[in-house]
Amino acid sequence: MSAESAPTLPTKVSLRVPATTANLGPAYDTLGMAMSIFIELTVEVSDEFSMEVTGEGSEHISRGADNMIVETCRIAFEYAKKPMPPLKFTMHNNIPYRCGCGSSSAAAAAGFVAGMTLSGLTMETQSTEALLSVISKIEGHPDNAAPAIYGGIQLGYKRDDGSVMTYRVPTPPNLSIVLFVPHKLMKASTHVTRELVPQTVSLSDAIHNISGTAILTLALATGELRLLKDASDCLHEQQRSSTLYPHYNACAKAAREAGAVYAFLSGAGPTVCALVTGRRGDLLVQPEEERKAERVAEAMVRAAGAAGVAGRAIITVPSDLGVHLSGTTCIRPDIQYTSI
């Protein structure tokens, strides 16, 4: 490479990372999907450290060095064997906070990739999945980390040697996502929600979830979403909802009755996620009779309210994009990087 085209490290980077919904019912710790709801982050070299946070959950998010984004950015500089300079972090969060929509995975990916870009670090993302391994280790689960990094629907798993891998499962066309999100924070700590999942299960329950995961993956890959009615879980959803989320069963049932092809607990909850098929586009330009997602959203809010849990609905779509730059200084003088 000539001196004129040598990499120049940027002093400012802006990026976006999608929300994710994990498990998708029976595929516990295995499948995850990126959604078109984003953390937006700008990090720039400054004279002193600062952290500005706006948006969802901003009243609960730390502005200090213990913020997940700051911590993972520092880890990236450590991997690059460079000291992290004073940085100004500016984050706007659109992802429901601590609701099972992958806000921690998005934060981990955002901070680490920002640190990679500013430090000049590169990592393997195919044969060894080094980036996924790092984010999974920080956040804990590849089913959230993989779609946050790569977008789409990702099948994440560990090899016998402990390494983490992921492969994309096709996303059915014209798919809308309806989320019911409680107004109040309901989610217990990750430790508590995982303790509700049994460590040992009967052979019949294991077979149930194995077949459910196979049906789920087949339905998504082929677009035969009518199969989803048979992709149910018996390992974690009822265990969590019976203890923590009194709205789940009523909300999921109402979603299906209103036209959703599938409904499940998003991650560890309390958000309930429903999948809706049909023409996809801006809801506001759809004729009334085509607004199936809107009807599902209304039904979910009513059912949860009747169960004593007030909340709101969010209508979105899958995101093909994982973490991506939305703006940066030139990494190479001869190539311009701009928004995707």
Separation of alpha carbons 283 and 221, rounded Å = 26
The answer to whether residue 12 scores a pLDDT higher than 50 is yes
**β-strand partners of 63:** none
Lowest mean pLDDT among 151-160, 188-197, 247-256: 188-197
The answer to whether residue 3 scores a pLDDT higher than 50 is no
Split at pLDDT 50, 70, 90, the class of 277 is: very high
Parallel/antiparallel/unpaired status of strands 50-55 and 87-93: parallel
Per-residue confidence (pLDDT) for residue 19, from 0 to 100: 97
The answer for residues whose C-beta is within 8 angstroms of residue 19's C-beta and 6 or more apart is 34, 35, 37, 38, 94, 95, 96, 101, 102, 103, 106
The answer to whether residue 185 scores a pLDDT higher than 50 is yes
**Nearest to residue 291, comparing CAs of 263, 258, 265?**
258
**Which among 164-168, 245-249, 334-338 has the top mean pLDDT?**
245-249
**Which among 120-134, 252-266, 325-339 has the top mean pLDDT?**
252-266
The answer to whether residue 320 scores a pLDDT higher than 60 is yes
Separation of alpha carbons 173 and 75, rounded Å = 37
Residues 34, 324 contacting (CB under 8 angstroms): no
The residue that leads in pLDDT, 333 or 134, is 134
Split at pLDDT 50, 70, 90, the class of 340 is: very low
Q: Please state the rounded mean pLDDT for residues 305-310.
A: 97
The answer to whether residue 193 scores a pLDDT higher than 80 is no
The answer for residues whose C-beta is within 8 angstroms of residue 306's C-beta and 6 or more apart is 250
b (16+ CB within 10 A) / e for 237-251: bebbbeebbbbbbbb
DSSP 8-state code for residue 15 = E
Separation of alpha carbons 4 and 228, rounded Å = 55
Residue with tokens 């689960």: 141
What 3-state DSSP class applies to 220? helix
What 3-state DSSP class applies to 98? coil
Residues 176, 275 contacting (CB under 8 angstroms): yes
The residue that leads in pLDDT, 286 or 214, is 214
Lowest mean pLDDT among 141-145, 205-209, 243-247, 264-268: 141-145
The answer to whether residue 284 scores a pLDDT higher than 70 is no
Average pLDDT value for the chain? 89
The answer to whether residue 195 scores a pLDDT higher than 90 is no
The answer to whether residue 205 scores a pLDDT higher than 70 is yes
Per-residue confidence (pLDDT) for residue 199, from 0 to 100: 87
The answer to whether residue 331 scores a pLDDT higher than 60 is no
Per-residue confidence (pLDDT) for residue 124, from 0 to 100: 73
- What is the phi/psi pair of residue 209, to 5°? -75, -30
Specify the CATH number for 12-170+320-339; select among 3.40.640.10, 3.40.50.620, 3.30.230.10, 3.30.450.20.
3.30.230.10
Reported as type and span, the H/E element at residue 13 is: strand 12-22
Specify the CATH number for 175-316; select among 3.90.550.10, 3.30.70.890, 1.10.3720.10, 1.10.10.10.
3.30.70.890
How does pLDDT run across 228-238, given as a tens digit for each residue? 999 999 999 99
Residues 15, 113 contacting (CB under 8 angstroms): yes
Hey, do 12-170+320-339 and 175-316 end up sharing a CATH topology, with the first three levels equal?
no
**Tokens, residue 276:** 């809706």
Separation of alpha carbons 174 and 84, rounded Å = 43
Q: Please state the rounded mean pLDDT for residues 193-206.
A: 88
Reported as type and span, the H/E element at residue 262 is: strand 262-265
The answer to whether residue 333 scores a pLDDT higher than 60 is no
DSSP assignment string, 165-188: EEEEEPPPTTEEEEEEEESS----
- What is the phi/psi pair of residue 264, to 5°? -160, 165
Torsion of CA 15, 34, 108, 189, to 10 degrees: 140
Residue with tokens 């880890």: 75
**Tokens, residue 179:** 């989320």
Separation of alpha carbons 132 and 115, rounded Å = 15
DSSP 8-state code for residue 286 = S
**Can you give the residue ranges of every domain in the chain?**
12-170+320-339, 175-316
The answer to whether residue 2 scores a pLDDT higher than 50 is no
Distance of CA 84 to the CA centre of its chain: 27
